[in-house]
Structure 1
Amino acid sequence: MDEVEVRELMPSEYKEWDLLVEKAQPGTLFHTSDWLEICRDVLSRDFKIYGCFRNGELVGGCPIFVKNIKGMLKIASSTCNMTDYCGPLIKEGASSKASKRMQDTHEILGALREFLCKQGFDSIHLTLSPGLEDVRPFTWKGWESSVRYTHHLDLKENVDSNLSRKIRRELKSAEEAGLKTRSSNDPETYYHLLSLVYEKQNLEPPVPKGFFERVFKLIQEKDAGYMFVSETPEGEVVASHLNLYGKKCTVTWSSALNPEFGRMGPNALLYYNEFLDLKARNFEYMNVMAANIPRFADFIMGFSPKIVPYYTVTLRSKKYSLMRILYQATHEETE
């Protein structure tokens, strides 16, 4: 087997990377150069795309956000704010043999792992996309691993037969309140709703409005997703979902709800009508990223989703681990 070479991609090679994202099964909008550039420009997050080559062909790789903490620690992560997963990608091989596909996966991930270990990072944290489940090339070499979850709503099933009593009550409340749903493309409306959610918790939104403006622009230019809103008979938008298109699915990426209208069932109505709309458009499932926060997970379970795991792998230097312990000890003393 020819050796896998790993190197940083030049911006002129990003189109080739985006083609790999499009073909690789775990590839998502989060992996694309367009998305990474939004994070760089709006969130000031430096990124690199490391490509894996075999005989000059790009067969895998991984985007990495790089952060220097006070010139003392160099941190690498495949994710940042509002980018839930964006780890390694591997080109799907032509072989029908599971053993050959596993061998290719391990060779590419092994080469990537060794390359990352030589870049002088004090901490490396990769969050793999759902669908890339074999983390042994990392864990066999001492990396820590953990599991997270997302929900898949199977669009081939009958949504009505899978609804809990709680969701049925919320749908009835939405009907009695006269709520309706529709598509929208107004980032101002979405950011206003999101701000209301965080104001109630005395917090700032996780990203500035400019981030959503850029995402909306990307969605429109690339036909990469859509926004679905729930509104009152008077036309006031009270809940919204931002959905990104994936392979045979949509990703419910971000949602917002006016807290004053929560008891009317606008969120349940959004999911229900989205389910019917996407089913009619021949999507296979909805990837609802709400499984790692108890109150969100409890709500979406009312639609009887499938629980799908995805994984993280982490490697920390002794220097990083020591500074982390000192930081935690210092903050415990001041509390």
Structure 2
Amino acid sequence: MSIEIEAFTREQRSEWDRLVEQSPGATPFHRFALLEVVADHAGATLHPLVGYKGQEPVGLFPVFVVRKGPVATAFSPPPSLKITYLGPTLLNVAKLKPSKAERRNRRFVEGCLDYVDEQFGPRYVHVRTHTRYCDTRPFTWKGYESTPNFTYVVDLSDGPDALFDRFSRDARKNVRDAQDADCVVEERGADAACTIVDQVRRRHEEQDEWYPLTTDFVTDLYERAPEGVVRPYVCEVDGRTVGGSLTLEHGDTAYGWQGVVKPDVDLDVNDVVHWHVINEAADRGVTRYDLVGANEPRLSRYKAKFAPTLESYDGLEKSSPGMSLAAKTYKRLR
């Protein structure tokens, strides 16, 4: 039996989110409300694709189409919004034998890519998968180029105390020093999310770097996401805000999405904030803390102090002749 591809409408958002909850590989940005926010701020049209084998849903694949004049491009996720993962996520495959699971994945992905080609004719397509989507061969078999990417994921399943013992010596010392100081980390609301993003932007500007996120975007995410998906944490020392982390949460995973720290503080605020997020997430039953990215040597050295496991995800792209500039622009803006 072939797999049929259907594009959901906004009226079907509850059913979409029900399927997202059932998929072990879904991320916060697979939720319909967040997809709509992303489409609004990316200047894109959202196409939430669902694959069915008969009446059984087999996968979700949100695609964003951007048109500039006669030229269409397609993304999952779109650029300029600091979204690390999206792409396809599968349903109802755990019960299948490996050969059947592979065949279903291939047919679902091929069906979605054919749908996008036939409906929109994009000159350039870029997809970035999540770490639990492991078999990207259906893309390469359709002519996509694959680029490996990496992130660090901290295992919280043994509890914070056991994890703390695996931290590097300096990370343990930094956390203990903060406990002796007047250092407070708290989860707050939309205003805190805006403060974090503003501080991150200023840090980038000080280094002559462009930072794409806006306070409007993170406010919309916070206000439209289900409760507990977007969690802004602020760190204060002697009543002064010195850093923070904008984290995301879905299923068994918390994501350290955006973070900032003032350089004129004696304490290692980043270590303190990570430790606080880990403790609160573990208390809620979260078993994975994704540090979101291990692709740069300096940041990788820092993140390795939290005893993480290295995991991979793929960037997949396909372009028509003459679209090399679009590919370069996407890689610069993502």
Residue among 70, 77, 80 paired with 1:79: 77
Q: Which moved more, 1:71-80 or 1:199-208?
A: 199-208
Moved more, 249-258 or 112-121: 112-121
Whether the 8 Å CA contact 2:133–2:313 is kept in 1: the answer is yes
CA shift at 1:317, angstroms? 1.3
In structure 2, the residue matched to 1:136 is 137
Shift in Å at residue 56 of structure 1?
Answer: 4.5
Question: Any idea what the Cα deviations from partners look like across 1:18-76, whole Å, max 9, x if unmatched?
Answer: 2221111111121122111112233433322222222244432311122234x253211
Q: For residues 10 and 188 of structure 1, do their structure 2 counterparts lie closer, same or farther at Cα, with a shift above 3 Å needed?
A: closer
Matched, 1:228 2:229: no
Residues 50 and 282 from structure 1, CA distance in 2 versus in 1: closer, same or farther, beyond 3 angstroms?
closer
Counterpart for residue 273 of structure 2: 270
- Greater CA drift, 20-29 or 177-186: 177-186
Deviation (angstroms), 1:230: 1.5
5 Å matches for 1:138-217?
138-157=139-158, 158-175=162-179, 177-185=181-189, 186-203=192-209, 205-217=211-223
1:33 and 2:39 are equivalent in the alignment: no
The question of 1:302 aligning with 2:305 is answered: yes
Does the CA-based 8 Å contact 1:6-1:115 persist in structure 2?
yes
Unaligned runs of 5+ in 2: 330-334
What percent of counterpart residues are identical?
23
Is 1:20 matched with 2:19? Answer: yes
After TM superposition, give the deviation of residue 305 of structure 1 in Å: 0.4
* Correspondence for 2:128: 127
CA drift of 1:248 comes to 1.3
CA contact (8 A) 1:43 1:207 kept: no
Q: Distance in 2 between matches of 1:195 and 1:76?
A: 27
- Given candidates 231, 250, 253, the residue that maps to 2:254 is 250
One-letter identity of the residue aligned with 1:92: N
SS at match of 2:264: helix
1:98-153 CA distances to partner (integer Å, 9 max, x unpaired)? Answer: 22222222221222232233331111111111101101111123211111111111
Gaps of 5+ in 1: 329-335
Q: CA deviation at 1:253?
A: 1.6
Cα displacement string for residues 166-214 of structure 1 (whole angstroms, at most 9, x for unaligned residues): 3234335534543222222233432342233223224454122111111
Using the TM superposition, name which of 188-197 and 303-312 deviates more.
188-197
Letter of the 1:124 counterpart: V
2:16 pairs with 1:10: no
CA spacing shift, 1:168–1:61, aligned 2, 3 Å = closer
Alpha-carbon distance in 1 for matches of 2:231, 2:77: 22
Q: Which residue of 250, 261, 264 corresponds with 1:260?
A: 264
Secondary structure, counterpart of 2:67 in structure 1 = strand
Inter-partner Cα distance in structure 2 for 1:23 and 1:95 = 13
Aligned partner of 2:293 among 282, 290, 295: 290
Structure 1 residues 205 and 183 mapped into 2: Cα distance closer, same or farther (>3 Å)?
same
Do the aligned residues in 1 keep the contact of 2:198 with 2:215 (CA within 8 Å)? Answer: no
The residue aligned with 2:332 is none
Provide the secondary structure at the position in 2 that maps to 1:309: strand
| 2:62 corresponds to 1:59 | no
Residue aligned with 2:323, SS: helix
CA distance in 1, matches of 2:107, 2:196: 43
Alpha-carbon distance in structure 2 between the residues aligned to 1:89 and 1:196: 35
CA contact (8 A) 1:4 1:111 kept: yes
Distance of 2:94 and 2:114 partners within structure 1: 25
Report SS of the residue matched to 2:92: coil
Stretch of structure 1 that moved more, 168-177 or 47-56: 168-177
- Correspondence for 1:317 among 316, 320, 324: 320
CA shift in 2, pair 1:202/1:249, >3 Å: same
- In structure 1, C-alpha distance between the alignment counterparts of 2:24 and 2:170, rounded to whole Å: 35
Contact (CA 8 Å) 1:132, 1:310: kept in 2 or not? yes
Which residue of 1 is the match for residue 109 of structure 2? 109
Q: Residue 332 of structure 1 aligns with which residue? A: none
- Which protein is bigger by CA-based radius of gyration? 1
Aligned residue identity for 2:106: H
